[in-house]
Amino acid sequence: MMSQSVKDYLIKNGPPSIAVEIFPKNESGAHFSKFHCKRKLPNGEIVDRPRLLYSASSDKIFCYNCKLFKNSVSTLTSNGFNDWPNIHRRLAEHEESKKHLQAMLSCCELQQRLSSGKTINEVLEKQIRQEAERWQKETYHSGDLRNI
């Protein structure tokens, strides 16, 4: 299980960009392409898929947000996807799935909390600092009373 601090770090820094230029071909000659890192919206606009991860070691792709928030058992979340002839259909299905949209929402919410300093860890750290300061003051004041 991934710790919250690791998840915070990964959300703050975002996914690594795909550095590979030439991708290995499978038995049928199909392969991943950076072309798949873009998506055509219904209005015709072409946008990046910045949350698409490619693993060179396994020659598979993963969904960054779904992998972080582990709310799905799809191949894009668990073992990776490499059925290259069906990649367009599979990515479209995944991006429209309720689980993917929930992961995207969770990612956006965490990004907002991180940017505003309102994550659970930061709130708890602030409470601990305040409690420590209070005890320091009480200890200091009680020490003053003993010296009277």
Per-residue pLDDT tens over the stretch 30-40: 999 999 999 99
85 vs 138: which has the higher pLDDT: 85
Of 28, 30, 81, 26, nearest to 53 by C-alpha is: 81
The answer to whether the CB of 60 falls within 8 A of the CB of 74 is: no
| Chain segment 73-123, per-residue pLDDT in tens | 788 988 999 999 999 999 999 999 999 999 999 999 988 888 887 666 666
Q: How far apart are CA 81 and CA 55, in angstroms?
A: 10
The answer to whether the CB of 71 falls within 8 A of the CB of 102 is: yes
pLDDT the model gives residue 144: 57
pLDDT the model gives residue 145: 53
How confident is residue 125, by pLDDT bands cut at 50, 70 and 90? Answer: low
User: How many CB atoms neighbour CB 64 within 10 A?
Assistant: 21
